[in-house]
Structure 1
Amino acid sequence: MKVTRALLPLLPFCQRLFPTRLAGLSLTLLKATALEIAILAGHLVLYPSGITPERRRSPIPTRSLADLPDPDLDADATTEAARLPAPDKPPVVLLHGFIDNRSVFVLLRRSLAQHGRQQIESLNYSPLTCDIRTAAELLGRHIEEICERTGRQEVDIVGHSLGGLIARYYVQRLGGDIRVRTLVTLGTPHAGTRVVPMMNAHPIVRQMRPGSGVLEELRKPAPHCRTRFVSFWSDLDQLMDPLETACIAHPDLLAQNVRVSGIGHLALPVHPAVAAGIRRALDAEEETARAAAHTGGLTVA
């Protein structure tokens, strides 16, 4: 598809923003670039609102008279009876990417809430975090606190970019598979990305490079991992080099890789079509997930 005259001024910028491997600049690529710029501008506006940690609020469920505690019970039993009953679906934990915060999930959080997710937690980790392993340990402590507070044994996680890698390390290497039912990753460099070499000065960026110690740990056998994985990867993701690095390829993991066409890296946690795919992934039964493993596609353009 030829580029129209109106879009020609954007060509130099797009050629710098996107890798040279994306030959034959098309209208689809230009649209994706424009969308990335718009999302970045909007996210910069929202970013300050996500700097502080999220207030923890337990939703108040609808309860019948039969659910109310018996006034004749002792105080301890009354407290136990009054504990928040578990909803049908486990809590969802949202984990942002590198140099970001929970504000990136404003639209996804709203979509999940509108479709029946009663408990959604958006976690922040420090932009000064220098080690994926340390961040994964902190995530584990957060999840234990969430399970204790909600009375649930498991959670689902949606991680964008680096957030997905932190969550995967927790699941595979720190025993988090007993707590995480489904892990959805969005544009996560599971096999390492070579983009922006000058960023190697940051230790956590070096851990996201192919062959890093962290990624080698994730390549080790995980024969008893119980977590289901769904990885959304985009064919226009300017931060994944190569693009397929955002796919999960591990013989011991139950993993479904979903190719998204028509949007870039920043749009993955924002686009409504991806949000619908995330909801389906979280709601899928294990048998369905096994049947769909290593398959799937989503066209957004």
Structure 2
Amino acid sequence: MLITLLLTLLGAGCFVSALTYTFFWYEAANNPHPSHSANCRGPRGLLRCVVVGFLSSVSSQLMVYLTYPLGFARRLWKPSPSANCSRPPVLLVHGLYHNASAWYLYKWRLRRCGYEKVFCLSYNTLKYDFWQLADQLKDVVRETAGLCGGEPVILVGHSMGGLLARAAIADPATAQLVRAVAVLGSPHHGSKLSALAFGRLGRSITYQGELVRRLNAMPSPRQMPKLNIFSPLDNMVLPTSSLTIDEPGWIQAETAPISHVSMLYHLPTVRLVMEFLDEFVPGCQRGQGLALPLAQRGSATA
């Protein structure tokens, strides 16, 4: 029984990964992005990159299926109230079709780095539209800040969660309660794969569609530290150019060539978030003499 379940999950992961990387292959061959390395140029190079991405996607899809039940254990994702937070509270927002279990690696790493209060927002992908979820996130930001004596929170969002975080900080009242924001693999200009999505929320993020145009017209606080992380082999956000933010004031950071979901389970990507907090967010420095790799990469925008 267990073997049958594992094989079924592996088969599902292979199907999703193969389908999405087929579209990635076509898009990259016809519309290459500067982040696509020289090793991905030409038919053979692109094939090698697609194979690497496919393998990372299958493994991460399997991790999603195996850990998904953890998202229903609410005690894991909502710490008890406390007025004594030595570090700012962190609020994590997952992407489409996922739940709080997406963040178990990030929560573990954040706790090891001294962040006592790590919260996760779980939302219903199929029940609400984007702007309803954005309003829910604003409420949760206020609630989270209140649980730590009014301390502004750090927002971290993956994929759709990153778009929701951007919508939340565009509201001045909510922005006052947010210390910094980091988004990972978010479709800032939509995705061509949205046509394959289940539910109106997934289909609403069509490439250059109304939702993303409205969102990109909403400015975020200029002085707030903001990080945008993307992978050159993201198989869910197509084209790759949709992963970058045009608005000034954002730090753009590129990961190793991994799949869209792999960003949740890839330790070097987790370290990018931690380095951003150490370097740019007041009150988050650990004093460990980090090499400031984000600045060295010249990834900050004007």
Shared fold (TM-score greater than 0.5)?
yes
Confirm or deny that 1:48 pairs with 2:47: no
SS in structure 1 of the partner of residue 103 of structure 2: helix
Higher helix proportion (structure 1 or 2): 2
Identity %: 22
The alignment's TM-score, normalised by the length of structure 1, stands at 0.76
State whether structure 2 residue 237 is matched by structure 1 residue 240. yes
Q: State whether residues 228 and 255 of structure 1, in contact with CA within 8 Å, keep that contact through their aligned partners in structure 2.
A: yes
- The 3-state SS of whatever aligns with 1:140 is helix
Aligned to 2:3: none
> How is 1:46-195 mapped onto 2 (pairs within 5 angstroms)?
46-54=67-75, 56-58=78-80, 84-87=83-86, 89-173=87-171, 175-195=173-193
> In terms of Rg, which structure is larger?
1
SS at match of 2:250: strand
Paired position in structure 2 for 1:255: 250
Go from structure 1 to structure 2 and tell me whether the alpha carbon gap of 1:13 and 1:144 turns closer, same or farther (over 3 Å shift).
closer
1:276 partnered with 2:282: no
Task: Please tell me the residue identity of whatever aligns with 1:31.
Answer: V
Deviation at 1:217, TM superposition (A): 2.2
Q: CA deviation at 1:115?
A: 1.6
2:27 corresponds to 1:21: yes
Tell me the TM-score normalised to structure 2 length: 0.76
Q: Indicate the SS of the match to 1:122.
A: strand
| CA offset digits 1:80-108 (Å, max 9, x no partner) | xxx63231x21111110001001111111
Verify the 8 A CA contact 2:234 2:240 in the aligned structure 1.
yes
Is contact 1:97–1:162 with CA below 8 Å preserved after alignment? yes
Counterparts of 1:225 and 1:284, CA distance in 2: 17
Q: CA deviation at 1:221?
A: 5.4
Q: What is the one-letter code of the residue matched to 1:19?
A: W
SS of the residue 2:277 aligns to: helix
Whichever residue aligns with residue 70 of structure 2, its letter is: S
Q: Is this contact kept in 2: 1:177–1:225, CA < 8 A? A: no
Q: Say whether residues 1:296 and 2:294 are aligned partners.
A: no
Contact 1:257/1:294 (<8 A) preserved: no
Indicate conservation of the 8 Å contact 1:256/1:294, yes or no.
no
- In structure 2, relative to structure 1, the CA distance for the partners of 1:143 and 1:223 (3 Å cut) is closer
Q: Distance in 2 between matches of 1:92 and 1:223?
A: 19
Paired residues of 2:125 and 2:201 also in contact (CA < 8 A): no
| CA displacement at 1:186 relative to structure 2 | 0.7
Q: Would you say the 8 A contact 1:156–1:181 is kept in 2? A: yes
8 Å CA contact 1:191–1:210 kept in 2: the answer is: yes
- Structure 1 residues 256 and 130: alpha-carbon distance in aligned structure 2, compared to 1, 3 A threshold: same
* Kept in 2: contact 1:177–1:226 (CA 8 A): no
Aligned CA distance change for structure 1 residues 34 and 191 (closer, same or farther; 3 Å): same
Question: 1:208 matched to which residue of 2?
Answer: 205
RMSD: 2.9
Residues 223, 29 of structure 1: CA spacing in aligned structure 2 closer, same or farther, 3 A cutoff? closer
Match of 1:227 among 224, 230, 242: 224
Secondary structure, counterpart of 2:57 in structure 1? helix
Q: What displacement does 1:150 show?
A: 0.9
Please tell me whether the aligned partners of residues 29 and 262 of structure 1 are also in contact (alpha carbons under 8 angstroms).
no
Distance across 2 between alignment mates of 1:223 and 1:147:
19
Question: CA offset at residue 57 of structure 1?
Answer: 2.6
Matched to 1:160, the amino acid is H
Could you say what secondary structure the match of 1:276 adopts? Answer: helix
